[in-house]
């Protein structure tokens, strides 16, 4: 469609455009309100913490960090804990009395455990809001849920060990739930009637809490991140310091305390429940243990099968073309989803290695296409630009053709700006102005840096690359790798001779369209000024 | 200026987060049992008597069996259902018939039932029948109790100790 405006400036300044923009923003908002609300919160955190330390970008590793605090404080607490039914309560009370050391350790142990659940809930909300749970990501989502369960069981068994009235409530509720399982069939609960309880149970519980569940959790988490590469296991330092200090201050202001000592001849009436962990027990006052179990299983099953409600199709996986591969293994280095591995060369070529792709793991993000040294649009030999690894649905040749086409279209324009965007940041099809041309890739990580050079040399005044928000690539590392390639820190690097003034790499989410328009306008002004001088 | 503002905003964010963590770790308080309520728990494990007595096999029956299986006694494995009634101040609080578990119905049953009752003085009557071969309840027990607030009263059943007991 031909725009009635001469240039971007006229277009953006027109009332008509402003109204359409408002409409678009509203429409997009209501199209996916959860995602949009999330993105506003995300922007606020970016403002407060900076993109590097935005906790929302590090929820997984923040959970790991909190688990480390839980572990270290737990070891301390264990040393001073008395693992017997008669001594447990007193030993925990003694910790709280020593407020400056054992008390702090106990509080850190409790609050860090609570914070893990809070952080994991945010982690779930984030992956869901940003639609990062379906398609090729089903595995991470599916294997995440059992870890939540293990965490909750870990918390429950921990509360049990204090042997106060809350522990008693938890113990009786748990045994009622266990009795509802056909394997126990009703004998469990009688253990918790006065006079029936032995130390044996308590030792079992301590074993479960100290060894059984933690080992299972470590294994579960290993599985959870198995399909990801370069998993961030260490949280950025700023966040580590901040969250540790916050926990420490909370522990000093509001130390963790117990209820009264357990007494099996009474029933605890008012309980200060830890809702992060003990939320299932009140259900027992409204439903039978069997119904409660069914409800809990139903909710977690529903959570687990979310990736298929409905599922999301992943485009066909990348395909290797050994005729254009020198086995440099950069694609293997860059793949965020562990879909590429290297093996000994099979085609008799003089190189040692070749990549192979596991289609089941491939996200079709194209990041490997961007890392292949053969994806250079200036290679002349072929009529068709062939590369070592390519996306069947949107091959690199097609992107070169699109670039050529838009450059021809812009040739008569006074200002020529080419924008490369991605499928997950701002929708560039909504940006329709006469002196701008847009090309959308699955991910900006797919853009070989040589394309910047190519586009500028073939007539563009400026190239703008608009990816996801910095640190928040939909495909984990796309914008990060491209930035490094541009800076010359990762191959294939951008030719040093390319004038850095003539292109810009920005990161925006769907809701940041106005900022992008401002960017475009600044670039336009700069080009016009340069033209005049 | 900007860094200072950022630190302030971060502090606010951390504080909100920690407030949430602290609040939900102890609140809102949950009332599991109202004041002036007590709890009666009926809990026991018991196997009903077998449905019929052991009897001697007739010589014909014995002859029909292979020599290595000629046990002179025949004892049915199936157990009787257990019928229980619990009355509080002569009002029926609970009644149920528990069928024996297991494929051949030869296992016992485990019972755990909880009742919230107002605290104070009560009369409790318990009855149990564990044999199809008797007409009426074969175990009966009656007791007057004075339940304190939040007290847990356990009703146990152990036939070898004479049947019901409370503690
Ligand atoms: C203790 C619990 C958990 C911990 C410590 C944890 C930790 C992590 C970590 C470290 C990552 C990798 C992040 C990265 O480096 O890019 C991750 C990814 C992921 N987690 Fe979890 N997680 C937990 C529970 C869950 C749960 C309960 C779910 C959902 C039901 C979930 C869903 C996901 C998804 C979908 C990804 C993939 C993200 C991506 O592909 O970019 N996680 N998790």
pLDDT tens digits, one per residue of A14-49: 777 778 878 888 888 888 899 999 999 999 999 999
Residue numbers of the domain that contains A492:
8-26+314-532
Instruction: Give the strand order in the sheet containing A503-507.
Output: A436-441, A417-422, A462-467, A503-507
Would you say the CB of residue A225 lies under 6 angstroms from ligand 1?
yes
Same domain, A281 and A357: no
CB atoms A273 and B29 under 8 Å:
yes
What is the mean pLDDT of the segment spanning A373-392?
A: 87
Q: How many domains does chain A have?
A: 2
Same domain, A15 and A92: no
- For residue A501, is it within any domain? yes
User: What are the average pLDDT values for consecutive 10-residue runs of chain B, which has 167 residues?
Assistant: 87 96 95 88 81 82 85 81 85 84 76 87 86 82 87 85 81
What does pTM read for this prediction? 0.90
- For residue A160, is it within any domain? yes
Per-residue buried b or exposed e for B104-127, using 16+ beta carbons within 10 Å of the residue's own CB = ebbebbbbbebeebebeebebbbb
A110 contacts chain B (CB < 8 A): yes
Sequential DSSP letters for A333-377: HH-TTS-EEEEE-SS--SSSEEEEE-TTT-----HHHHH-TT--T
Contacts of B27 in chain A (CB under 8 A): 272, 275
Q: Strand A462-467 relative to strand A503-507: parallel, antiparallel, unpaired?
A: parallel
| B88 upstream amide cis, omega within 30 of 0 | no
When CB atoms are compared, the residue of A114, A267, A269 closest to B21 is: A114
Distance from CA of B149 to the nearest CA of A (A): 8
ipTM reported for the complex surpasses 0.85: yes
Question: ∠ CA A123-A127-A130 to the nearest 5 degrees?
Answer: 135
Give the bridge partners for B147, in sequence order: B120
What is d(CA A172, CA A191) in angstroms, rounded to the nearest whole number? 9
When CB atoms are compared, the residue of A48, A250, A264 closest to B22 is: A250
What is the mean pLDDT of the segment spanning A455-469?
A: 95
CB atoms A111 and B150 under 8 Å:
no
Given a cut of 80, whether residue A254 has pLDDT beyond it is yes
Contacts of A68-73 with CB under 8 Å at 24 or more apart are A69/A108, A69/A109, A69/A112, A69/A244, A69/A247, A70/A109, A70/A112, A70/A113, A70/A116, A71/A214, A73/A105, A73/A106, A73/A108, A73/A109, A73/A112
What is d(CA A439, CA A518) in angstroms, rounded to the nearest whole number? 19
Same domain, A177 and A224: yes
Give just the sign of the alpha carbon dihedral A385, A386, A388, A393: positive
Ligand 1 nearest-atom number relative to CA A61: 10
Given a cut of 50, whether residue A260 has pLDDT beyond it is yes
A316 contacts chain B (CB < 8 A): no
**Chain A CA closest to residue B5:** A48
**Chain B CA closest to residue A282:** B32
Distance from Cα A225 to the centre of ligand 1, integer Å: 7
CATH class of this structure's domain B37-50+79-166? mainly beta
Same domain, A295 and A321: no
Would you say the CB of residue A146 lies under 6 angstroms from ligand 1?
no
Would you say the CB of residue A124 lies under 6 angstroms from ligand 1?
yes
Ligand 1 nearest-atom number relative to CA A227: 40
Mutate which of A62, A115, A127, A308 for ligand 1? The one with the most ligand atoms within 8 Å of its CB, which is A127
Same domain, A21 and A103: no
CB atoms A246 and B43 under 8 Å:
no
What is d(CA A389, CA A316) in angstroms, rounded to the nearest whole number? 13
Q: What is the 3-state secondary structure (H, E, C) of A159-199?
A: HHHCCEHHHHHHHHHHHHHHHCCCCCCCCCHHHHCCCCCCH
Distance from CA of B35 to the nearest CA of A (A): 7
- Is residue B19 within 8 A of residue A249, CB to CB? The reply is no
CB atoms B18 and A187 under 8 Å:
no
Provide the CA B21 distance to its chain's centre, in angstroms.
37
When CB atoms are compared, the residue of B25, B41, B151 closest to A193 is: B41
Contacts of A272 in chain B (CB under 8 A): 26-27, 29-30
The token pair at A199 is 């130390």
What is d(CA A372, CA A392) in angstroms, rounded to the nearest whole number? 15
Confidence of residue A1 (pLDDT cuts 50, 70, 90): very low
B111 contacts chain A (CB < 8 A): yes
Distance from Cα B5 to the centre of ligand 1, integer Å: 31
Contacts of B98 in chain A (CB under 8 A): none
- For residue A515, is it within any domain? yes
pLDDT digits (tens, 9 = 90+) for A263-278: 888 888 899 999 999 9
Residue A398's contacts (CB-CB under 8 Å, 6 or more residues apart) are: none
Best of B9, B112, B154 to disrupt the A interface (most A CBs within 10 Å) is: B112
Who wins on pLDDT, A135 or B136? A135
Same domain, A114 and A94: yes
Give just the sign of the alpha carbon dihedral A178, A181, A182, A186: positive
| B70 upstream amide cis, omega within 30 of 0 | no
- Is residue A375 within 8 A of residue A386, CB to CB? The reply is no
Given a cut of 50, whether residue A2 has pLDDT beyond it is no
Would you say the CB of residue A475 lies under 6 angstroms from ligand 1?
no
pLDDT digits (tens, 9 = 90+) for A155-205: 999 999 999 999 999 988 998 898 888 776 667 777 777 666 777 778 888
Same domain, A259 and A288: yes
Q: Domain spans of chain B?
A: 1-30, 37-50+79-166
- For residue A44, is it within any domain? no
Same domain, A180 and A326: no
Same domain, A512 and A451: yes
Question: ∠ CA A506-A520-A10 to the nearest 5 degrees?
Answer: 160
B161 contacts chain A (CB < 8 A): no
The protein residue with its alpha carbon nearest to ligand 1, atom 13, reads A60
- Is residue A238 within 8 A of residue B7, CB to CB? The reply is no
The token pair at A386 is 């062939």
Residue A405's contacts (CB-CB under 8 Å, 6 or more residues apart) are: none
What is d(CA A444, CA A507) in angstroms, rounded to the nearest whole number? 10
CB atoms A242 and B10 under 8 Å:
yes
- For residue A43, is it within any domain? no
What is the mean pLDDT of the segment spanning A132-143?
A: 95
Would you say the CB of residue A64 lies under 6 angstroms from ligand 1?
yes
B32 contacts chain A (CB < 8 A): yes
Identify the burial level of A504 via C-beta atoms within 10 angstroms of its C-beta, where 0-12 means exposed, 13-18 middle and 19 or more buried.
middle
- For residue A179, is it within any domain? yes
What is the mean pLDDT of the segment spanning A120-136?
A: 95
Q: Which of A306, A298, A318, A497 is nearest to A395 (CA)?
A: A318
Number of Cβ pairs < 8 A linking chain A and chain B? 122
CB atoms A49 and B29 under 8 Å:
no
Ligand 1 nearest-atom number relative to CA A64: 5
- For residue A33, is it within any domain? no
pLDDT digits (tens, 9 = 90+) for A54-108: 999 999 999 999 999 999 999 999 999 988 888 889 999 999 999 999 999 999 9
């Amino acid at each position: 469609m031909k725009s009635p405006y001469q240039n971007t400036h006229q277009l953006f300044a027109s009332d008509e455009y402003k109204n359409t923009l408002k409409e678009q923003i509203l429409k997009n908002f209501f199209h996916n309100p959860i995602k949009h609300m999330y993105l506003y919160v995300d922007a606020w955190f970016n403002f407060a913490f900076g993109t590097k330390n935005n906790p929302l970008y590090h929820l997984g590793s923040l959970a790991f960090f909190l688990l480390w605090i839980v572990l270290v404080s737990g070891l301390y607490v264990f040393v001073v804990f008395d693992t017997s039914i008669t001594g447990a309560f007193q030993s925990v009370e003694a910790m709280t009395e020593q407020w400056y050391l054992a008390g702090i350790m106990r509080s850190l142990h409790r609050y860090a455990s609570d914070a893990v659940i809070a952080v994991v809930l945010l982690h779930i909300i984030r992956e869901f809001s940003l639609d990062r749970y379906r398609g090729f990501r089903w595995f991470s989502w599916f294997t995440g849920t059992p870890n939540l369960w293990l965490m909750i069981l870990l918390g429950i068994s921990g509360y049990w060990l204090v042997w106060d009235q809350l522990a008693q409530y938890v113990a009786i509720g748990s045994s009622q739930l266990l009795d509802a399982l056909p394997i126990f069939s009703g004998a469990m609960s009688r253990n918790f009637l006065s006079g029936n309880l032995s130390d044996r149970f308590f030792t079992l519980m301590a074993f479960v809490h100290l060894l059984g569940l933690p080992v299972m959790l470590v294994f579960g988490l290993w599985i959870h991140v198995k399909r990801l590469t370069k998993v961030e296991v260490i949280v950025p330092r700023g966040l580590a310091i901040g969250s540790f200090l916050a926990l420490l201050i909370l522990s000093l202001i509001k130390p963790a305390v117990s209820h009264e000592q357990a007494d099996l001849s009474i029933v605890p009436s008012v309980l200060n429940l830890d809702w992060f962990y003990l939320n299932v027990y009140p259900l027992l006052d409204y439903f039978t243990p069997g119904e409660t179990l069914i409800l809990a299983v139903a909710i977690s099953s529903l959570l687990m099968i979310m990736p298929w409600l409905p599922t999301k199709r992943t485009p066909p996986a990348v395909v290797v073309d050994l005729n254009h591969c020198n086995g440099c293994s950069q694609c293997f280095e860059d793949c965020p989803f562990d879909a590429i591995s290297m093996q000994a060369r099979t085609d008799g070529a003089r190189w040692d290695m070749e990549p192979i792709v596991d289609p089941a793991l491939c996200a079709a993000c194209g990041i490997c296409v961007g890392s292949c040294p053969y994806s250079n649009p200036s290679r002349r030999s072929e009529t068709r630009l062939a590369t070592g690894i390519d996306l069947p649905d949107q091959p690199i040749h097609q992107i070169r053709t699109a670039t050529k086409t838009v450059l021809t279209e812009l040739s008569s324009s006074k200002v020529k700006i080419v924008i490369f965007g991605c499928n997950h940041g701002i929708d560039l099809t909504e940006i329709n102005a006469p002196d701008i041309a847009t090309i959308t890739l699955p991910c900006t990580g797919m853009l070989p840096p040589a394309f910047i050079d190519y586009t500028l040399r073939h007539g563009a005044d400026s190239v703008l690359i608009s990816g996801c928000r910095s640190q928040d690539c939909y495909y984990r590392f796309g914008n990060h790798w491209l930035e490094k390639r541009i800076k010359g820190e990762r191959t294939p690097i951008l030719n040093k001779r390319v004038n850095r003034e003539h292109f810009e790499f920005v990161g925006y989410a769907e809701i940041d369209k106005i900022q992008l328009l401002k960017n475009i306008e600044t670039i336009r002004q700069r080009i016009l000024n340069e033209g005049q001088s | 200026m900007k860094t200072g503002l950022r630190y302030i905003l971060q502090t606010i964010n951390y504080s909100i987060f920690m407030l949430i963590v602290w609040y939900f770790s102890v609140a809102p308080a949950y009332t599991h049992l109202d004041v002036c309520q007590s709890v009666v728990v009926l809990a026991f494990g018991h196997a009903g008597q077998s449905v019929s007595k052991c009897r001697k096999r007739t010589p014909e029956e014995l002859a029909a069996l292979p020599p290595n299986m000629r046990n002179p006694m025949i004892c049915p494995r199936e157990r009787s259902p257990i019928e229980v009634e619990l009355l509080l101040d002569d009002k029926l609080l609970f009644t149920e018939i528990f069928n024996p578990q297991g494929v051949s119905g030869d296992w016992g049953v485990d019972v755990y039932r909880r009742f919230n009752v107002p605290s104070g003085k009560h009369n409790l009557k318990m009855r149990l029948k564990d044999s199809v071969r008797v007409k009426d309840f074969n175990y009966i027990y009656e007791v007057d109790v004075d339940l304190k607030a939040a007290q847990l009263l356990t009703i146990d059943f152990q036939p070898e100790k004479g049947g019901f007991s409370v503690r």
